[in-house]
Amino acid sequence: MKQLIDVETWNRREHFAFFSAFEEPFFGLVAEVDTTRAYGRAKAQGVSFFQLYLHCALTAVNAVEALRYRIEEGKVYCYDQIHVSATLTRPDTTFAFSFVPYAASLSEFGVGLAAEMEAVRQSTGLRLSPTTARPDVIHFSAIPWVSFTSLTHARAFAHPDSIPKISVGKARRQGEALLLPVAINVHHGLADGYHVGLFLEAFQRELNAA
């Protein structure tokens, strides 16, 4: 379900108009989150670290209203719930797009994720489809080979896009802590640094509670 935002009375009306006129309306930043506790709990529960932090990230996205806004045919909508289109890799190192529905339960979410991982392994190409291209998702990718400090995305500026993009890199040890780099790019007409900060706070909270 989604709700239409009345842009005329919206407190972001000028922000939305201003940044929507840009060739590149997205901005992004990279920060680190502490996954020490989450990594230990993933091992203890016998689930993949990827499954756990992806679920935590998606839960955090759903907690921040600004990250549930989407622009469709020039209008702004707020979705009640956001899912994830993650890039998943194959044994031959190629990747494909996926669609994994959000579930409050980590185990239920894991069932959907496992099904998509298997579907990717059994396929070729990008798996472009109306399902993987749904607007009520975040675009998520993991780059577990590099502990990056910055990141850019390939973008077709002529194609209208308002979907947040979240990427994580290789976790690194700092003393007893296991720190995970997180890049988040959002449409500036819909969200500001404040909202990115809310997401990172919620993500850390979910990781600590996982």
pLDDT score of 125: 97
For residue 165, give both structure tokens.
Answer: 């993009």
Nearest Cα to 124, choosing from 93, 153, 103?
93
Give the Cα separation of 50 and 39 in Å (integer). Answer: 9
pLDDT score of 158: 81
For residue 110, give both structure tokens.
Answer: 């894991």
pLDDT score of 71: 98
pLDDT score of 132: 94
Give the Cα separation of 55 and 88 in Å (integer). Answer: 15
Nearest Cα to 60, choosing from 195, 157, 156?
195
For CA atoms 174, 204, 82, 135, the dihedral sign is: negative
Q: 85-136, pLDDT tens digit by residue?
A: 999 999 999 999 999 999 999 999 999 999 999 999 999 999 999 999 999 9
In SS3 terms, 149-175 reads as: CCCCCCCCCCCCCCCCEEEECCCEEEC
Q: 42-53, pLDDT tens digit by residue?
A: 999 999 999 999
Give the Cα separation of 192 and 119 in Å (integer). Answer: 36
Question: Residue 13: helix, strand or coil by DSSP?
Answer: helix
pLDDT score of 206: 98
pLDDT score of 155: 86
pLDDT score of 183: 98
Residue 192 has pLDDT above 80, yes or no: yes
Could you tell me if 106 and 52 are in contact, meaning their C-beta atoms sit under 8 angstroms apart?
yes
pTM of the model: 0.96
Give the Cα separation of 32 and 207 in Å (integer). Answer: 12
DSSP 46: T
For residue 177, give both structure tokens.
Answer: 């802590």
Give the Cα separation of 209 and 205 in Å (integer). Answer: 6
Report, in angstroms and rounded to the nearest whole number, the Rg of the chain calculated over CA atoms. 17
pLDDT score of 160: 87
Give the Cα separation of 85 and 101 in Å (integer). Answer: 9
Q: Which domains does the chain have, with CATH numbers?
A: 2-209 (3.30.559.10)
Q: Which residues are catalytic?
A: 188
Q: 128-183, pLDDT tens digit by residue?
A: 999 999 999 999 999 999 999 999 999 888 888 999 999 999 999 999 999 999 99
Residue 210 has pLDDT above 80, yes or no: no
